[in-house]
A = this chain, B = another copy of it.
């Protein structure tokens, strides 16, 4: 099989022993075969050789929480509190979404993410077959789950759960292994306890992880205490959620004791700093979580509460905001934000061979044009990626060694058609 060889590039590796390599990288059978200063052998006829000068290569970004179809609601409700935003702007509009709408919204988000250097994402939504088909078509990697809201009669609850199980079973390991699945009670405040227990049982039955929203707002925490006598962490612990591998989104409002509980169960957290700021939910205790050894990654959340899906921005916000609010300039240094946006994202969804540029790892990587004013001088490229770069600096994207974006153009998706279909859905849906 012909190899892909990147020559004379600079590589951010996520290898702690040599975080930055100047030299060459060889990709074979979708995995990294070599990275280092000297090529082990010259390119063979048929190999694809890429001139890596003026480019920085790094692992693809991993977005560990979102609702891709919500791009249809970008800008529809801004500057509102979470409950108002959900109940008055999001849910009434989302109730109108058909499978076609979810397809259109998801494809637009995939286009945005992929062109912006995100190679893998987590999605929790409805009509998930459409999301899986879009991921398959795009060539991306994803961990997908049908999020279920249990505020409905028992028969509807049951059919939603069956659908979630069917989706999770059908798609786990599909798209050449690029898709994995999870089970997802939407949140403790949208699922009665017995329903959450049924979802946990289903996750055990299917041997799948659980993804859920948790402790996003003070309001949610207080309501949970009022209704169940427990804060969300203890409540979910009691319902057995943490007996499964678990990724929780947000986790903004945590006590020291709750951090200990999350540590004990090795619960992974998707830190959604941009969305938490925009919805005024607060600032999660990221430095304390990292100190405690919790595995934290980054998520954009949906485009309605961010309002873009630029993972560079999430890395930057994570690196900047916690410094400012803690008065601690060494909080969340650039290298840590970078890991959260890449390898720790992959580990958050239990992918062991994604997230670094090292031999044997899957070849999910991106190229950035570093010959631009805002990325000069080349003093510290890890700093530049976190503190200065943006999605728009990404030129090329590979997943499993396959080139999905070249010179800013997506090769697997028809951008003009996706935008036209998306605009048509928006015009029909939103009044």
Contact = CB atoms under 8 A, between A and B. Distances in A.
Interface of A: 71-76, 78-82, 85, 108-109, 111-112, 115-116, 218, 274, 276-283, 303, 306-310, 313, 316-317, 319-321, 323-331, 333-334, 371, 373-374, 376-377, 379-381, 383-384, 387-388, 390-393, 415, 418-419, 422-423, 426-427, 430
Interface centre among A82, A325, A334 (most CB of B within 10 A): A325
A377 B328 contact: no
Contact of A423 (B283, B377, B383, B387): B377
A55 to B, nearest CB: 15
A333 B79 contact: yes
A291 to B, nearest CB: 16
Nearest to A80: B329
A323 B310 CA distance: 20
Contact of A276 (B82, B324, B419): B324
Contact of A388 (B279, B307, B376): B307
Q: Max chain B CB contacts within 10 Å: which of A277, A319, A427? A: A277
A339 B288 CA distance: 36
Given A374-B308, A388-B307, A426-B379, A280 B76 contact: no
The 3 closest A-B pairs by CB, nearest first: A277-B324, A392-B392, A75-B380
A374 B427 CA distance: 17
Given A280-B329, A283-B324, A75 B383 contact: yes
Q: How many copies does the complex hold?
A: 2
B323 A278 contact: yes
Contact of A280 (B282, B308, B331, B426): B331
A320 B321 CA distance: 10
A414 B51 CA distance: 25
B79 A376 contact: no
A240 B322 CA distance: 37
Contact of A109 (B325, B373, B387, B390): B373
16 contacts: A71-B373, A75-B377, A75-B383, A80-B329, A108-B373, A111-B373, A277-B324, A278-B387, A280-B323, A280-B326, A282-B327, A307-B383, A307-B387, A308-B388, A313-B316, A377-B426
A329 B80 CA distance: 5
A75 B327 CA distance: 20
Given A71-B377, A75-B381, A281-B327, 14 more contacts: A72-B377, A74-B376, A75-B377, A75-B380, A79-B334, A278-B324, A278-B387, A308-B388, A310-B374, A321-B324, A377-B422, A377-B427, A377-B430, A390-B392
Contacts of A108: 373, 376
Nearest to A304: B379
A379 B75 contact: yes
Contacts of A333: 78-79
Given A283-B325, A392-B390, A384 B278 contact: no
